[in-house]
Amino acid sequence: MRTLHRRVEAALIAGFVLLLAACSQDAAPAATGNGQGAGARGSGGAEHGTAAAALDDLAGRQPPIVMVMIDTLRADRLGCYGAELPTSPVIDDLAARSHRFTANTSQCNSTFPSITSVMTGLYVKTHANYVAVPIEGSAQLNPEYASLAERLHDDGYYTAGVVSHPLWVDDPIDTAVRRGWDAYSAISQEIPREERVAAAEAGYTNERAFELLDRYEAEAADRPLFLWVHYFDPHTPYTPPAEYADRFLEHHAAALGVERFVARLRTVPLVERSAWIRALEDANNRERSDLILADARAQYDAEIAYNDARIGELFERLERMELLDEALIVFVADHGENMEGRDSGRRNIAFTHERLYEPVVATPLMVRLPRQTEGSVSASLTQNIDIVPTIVDLLDLPAGPRMEGASLRPLLVDGRATLHERVFTESSDNVERALRTHALKYIEPGLGEKPELYRWRIDRVEQDDLISEDGSSVSPAKIAEFERAMGDFRPKSRIGVEFQPWTRDYEVRVEVTVRDGRFLLVEGADEFELSEDGAVARFTVRVTDAVREVQVLPDGKTFELGWRIESTGATPLQSSILLGRTPIERTVVAPLYDTDPTAAVPEEPLVRLAHSGPGTAHEVAIDVAAGAPVEIELRPAETLYGEELVVLADGGLAVTRASGRGMVNQGTLTRLAGDGAAAAAVRVRFDGNPATKLVLVRRDGAWPAPAEFTLDGRAVREDVLGFQFPSPGDGRIASTILAAPPDGGGAPGTIAIWLQSSDTRMSIDTGNLDPALVEELRELGYVR
């Protein structure tokens, strides 16, 4: 895909840049010829130097609207935002004729939630879509809200959208990024999944955009155009075309003092470089680490340069259509990327968009009014959710449905004006949140970690935490002010639990514990009590012939929950409990079982767990019958330093280990897999002093049923189920918990648990993600 358009690139881009430069100096170019997109409400005119003139001329018109969005783009890697390398000549030229905002904030650190905010003008906590990518079902947009495409379509615009995320599909799903389009293009599902990352490049994006523009010219040229083009290139993996790959390698290597390796590194294919660097014999560990960092920075910048050139092609096409000069152009990124090494003083989060530090949340935003020739700069606080209110204001569209951003019009007239006193952003795992004021940035990491406070304008790398370990350099009153503001912003999330009737009456007793927080209230239960510290909620529900629903209100600071559910007269709990729409045995939560000394012990249990002594190690035996291929995952239910799983007998299965993936807040994952040709007996030992009685076992992507377990020679109780409901650091768990119960009710005896923000229910069905998809999500950074 990278070879598309490449032979004509040099001449085309050089000529286009010269053309733009000439146009920017021309006081009165010819008016548009055929009036396409010039607007049904008015006609074209002369170019405008001042914003006031441009705004006056815009009144009553329907100009073409072009939104260019680049995924994972930091502002500071563009020349117009201070980058010292020539990564973005086309974008820089646009900036010279636009209103550029230098204190802009993205609303989220993941693509789908952030773009949903861009397209609705709503905070993530309001539209409630925390899912990183719309896969296997998606977050439906509440009908009380509207997408930008819907608003413009209702105003008579021809709406055309092009997305380049390799995991987004062309299905007409009801989301904010899919509603309201006359024409919409995603990467073809006919392209094999393993090839879609390579297809998510700007040349192929332009091919699809040009196809939609052809359709527009053929079918709807009398209507104004709204074109949204989403580029993906700077996202991991960084694989620019060969002619771009090493443009900036010398610079980044010299900055880190590892330039002596550059000549050799250039000869190594991009996909092999990390392994090649790690095997370097004439480099120390620091040099290897720095060389990996330098190479990644170089390829990231090269991706931007390639993307910039393709934007030049898009603009050239719009120029030939006589739309470019007449267009209202918005340039934006969904979020940024971490590129800092260990010298940042933090754990290694380079090449990810984890956390809410400036490299991730400080994104570019530019607005060019039709025929605008003079640029301006504003350092006032702005945010991505200001885009929709701005377009609604400039085009005098109906103000409803609800939006939470503000129109940028005051800043278009006077960049020194103030639009916001504070802006907010949050992480897609629904844990971390941050707010910016004009001078300070407050980060609330969640999960009991201490807050952080930075002077973000002067401390761009956020190294000087004003809330220090031994005191604070800011007043307690100021910190309290931030705490109150964050409390007001934090989603008022509720945990919904729905109980379906069964063939006979039953009673359910539930105990929920919350980490580093407290419960405020339980509504809808027959009996309930809260512990003195509020960290434990216990309630009882009696189910007869009607659906019962209980709402549990935590304080919203965390969603790391422990559950214990005991039922009398209901179906076996493991098969009847759903997280959202997903059966619990297909989620990544950790089931924790109790033994039943009165029940008959299974003669041939799948899993036999035995403690070798009080407070010492325990062993797990797993019997694998011959037949279908098998994959077994083993992990301690709780991990403390010095504890690990030791494989005593692998039964001939292949053993691999992975750390920090899948279930969060757990230890190293041990995976055993085989083709099932013969029976296998697996034994592992958990060394250390376990905090629980269980090593977690998943077979073929599902938890074994309670009847398949024995603990210390006893049967496992089927009427009691405990499980850990961790913070959603995994793409699967995040999608699972932010979900509504099944439409139309579940099967008899079903208990459905979901998380809802405010009074908004979600509708997500992730199903059982196949391993290939999970690996692709991991490659893209969505699964840890």
Task: Give the tens place of pLDDT for each residue, 371-384.
Answer: 999 999 999 999 99
pLDDT at 31: 32
CA-nearest of 686, 50, 70, 147 to 333 is 70
Beta-carbon neighbour count of residue 56 at 10 Å? Answer: 10
Report the pLDDT averaged over residues 140-156: 87
Interacting residues of 674 by C-beta distance below 8 A, sequence separation 6+: 624, 629, 630, 651, 652, 653, 654, 680
- Residue 750's nearest CA partner among 573, 511, 508 is 573
225-270 pLDDT tens trace: 999 999 999 998 899 999 999 999 999 999 999 999 999 999 999 9
Place 207 in a pLDDT band, splitting at 50, 70 and 90. Answer: very high
The answer to whether residue 21 scores a pLDDT higher than 80 is: no
Give which of 162, 163, 112, 108 is closest to 133, Cα–Cα: 112
- Concatenated DSSP letters for 63-101? --EEEEEETT--GGGSGGGT-SS---HHHHHHHHTSEEE
Contact (CB, 8 A) for 132 and 166: no
The 3-state DSSP class for residue 103 equals: strand
CA 120 to the chain's CA centroid = 17
Question: Residue 450 and residue 468: Cα distance in Å, rounded?
Answer: 10
Q: What are phi and psi of 329, to 5 degrees?
A: -110, 130
Helix intervals (H) in 321-386 = 358-361
- pLDDT tier at 446, thresholds 50, 70, 90: confident
Counted residue by residue, the chain has a size of 784
Q: Mean pLDDT check: name the lowest of 99-113, 312-326, 729-743.
A: 729-743
Q: Which sign, positive or negative, has the C-alpha torsion 176, 205, 194, 74?
A: negative
Residue 131, classed as helix, strand or coil, is coil
Q: Is the predicted pLDDT of residue 421 greater than 90, yes or no?
A: yes
**Is the pLDDT confidence value at 513 over 60?**
yes
Average pLDDT over residues 22-33: 34
- Residue 60 gets the label, from left (phi > 0), alpha (psi -120 to 50) or beta, of left
Q: Can you state the percent helix, strand and coil of the chain, rounding each to 5? A: 25, 25, 50
3-state class (DSSP) for residue 104: strand
User: Given a cut of 70, is residue 757 above it in pLDDT?
Assistant: no
Range of weakest confidence among 81-85, 342-346, 392-396:
342-346
- 244: tokens are 């771009």
Torsion sign across C-alpha atoms 497, 503, 508, 512: negative
**pLDDT score for 268:** 93
User: Mean pLDDT across the chain, nearest whole number?
Assistant: 80
pLDDT of residue 18: 31
Could you tell me the pLDDT band of residue 765, with boundaries at 50, 70 and 90?
Answer: very low
* 35 pLDDT above the threshold of 50: no
Residue scoring higher pLDDT (726 or 127): 127
Whole-number pLDDT of residue 602: 83
- Check pLDDT > 90 for residue 388: yes
Kindly report, residue by residue over 283-304, the tens digit of the pLDDT: 898 899 899 999 999 999 999 9
Q: Residues 502, 570: contact at Cβ < 8 Å? A: yes
Locate all alpha helices (DSSP H) within 395-512, ordered by sequence.
409-413, 476-489
Give me the mean pLDDT over the 181-192 stretch: 90
Higher pLDDT, residue 46 or 103: 103
Residue 411: name the closest of 437, 381, 372, 371 by CA.
381
pLDDT score for 345: 56
Residue 629 or residue 559, greater confidence: 629
The confidence score (pLDDT) of residue 736 equals 57
Sign of CA dihedral 371, 376, 380, 384: positive
Q: What is the predicted pLDDT for the residue at 764? A: 46
**Nearest residue to 24 (alpha-carbon basis) of 8, 47, 56, 51:** 47
Residue-wise pLDDT for 60-116, tens only, equals 789 999 999 999 999 999 999 999 999 999 999 999 999 999 999 999 998 988 999
Name the residue type at position 524: G
Band of residue 155 on the pLDDT scale cut at 50, 70, 90: very high
Confidence of residue 636 (pLDDT cuts 50, 70, 90): low
Q: How far is residue 740 from each of residues 147, 498, 540, 655, 745, measured CA to CA in Å?
A: 22, 10, 22, 37, 11
Confidence of residue 139 (pLDDT cuts 50, 70, 90): low
Least confident range of 87-91, 208-212, 524-528, 667-671 = 667-671
Of 70 and 21, the one with more pLDDT: 70
Which residue did the predictor score with more confidence, 183 or 283?
183
Instruction: Please tell me the predicted confidence (pLDDT) of residue 9.
Output: 36
Beta pairing partners, 716? 595
**Three-class SS of residue 306?**
helix
User: What is the radius of gyration, based on Cα positions, of the chain?
Assistant: 28
CB 219: neighbour CB atoms within 10 A? Answer: 12
On whether the CB atoms of residues 144 and 180 are closer than 8 A, the answer is no
Give the sheet arrangement for strand 561-568, strand by strand.
Answer: 527-530, 536-543, 506-514, 561-568, 720-725, 590-592
Stretch 7-28: mean pLDDT, rounded? 34
Supply the pLDDT for residue 98: 95
Burial class (CB in 10 A: 0-12, 13-18, 19+), 264: exposed
Using CA atoms, how far residue 340 sits from 289, 293, 434, 454, 463, in Å, is 12, 8, 19, 17, 12
Which of the residue ranges 77-81, 490-494, 606-610, 717-721 has the most confident prediction, judged by mean pLDDT?
A: 77-81
**Cα 606 to Cα 708: distance, rounded to the nearest angstrom:** 5
User: Tens digits of per-residue pLDDT, 535-573?
Assistant: 999 999 999 999 999 998 887 666 677 888 998 876 667
- Cβ proximity of 608 and 710 under 8 Å: yes
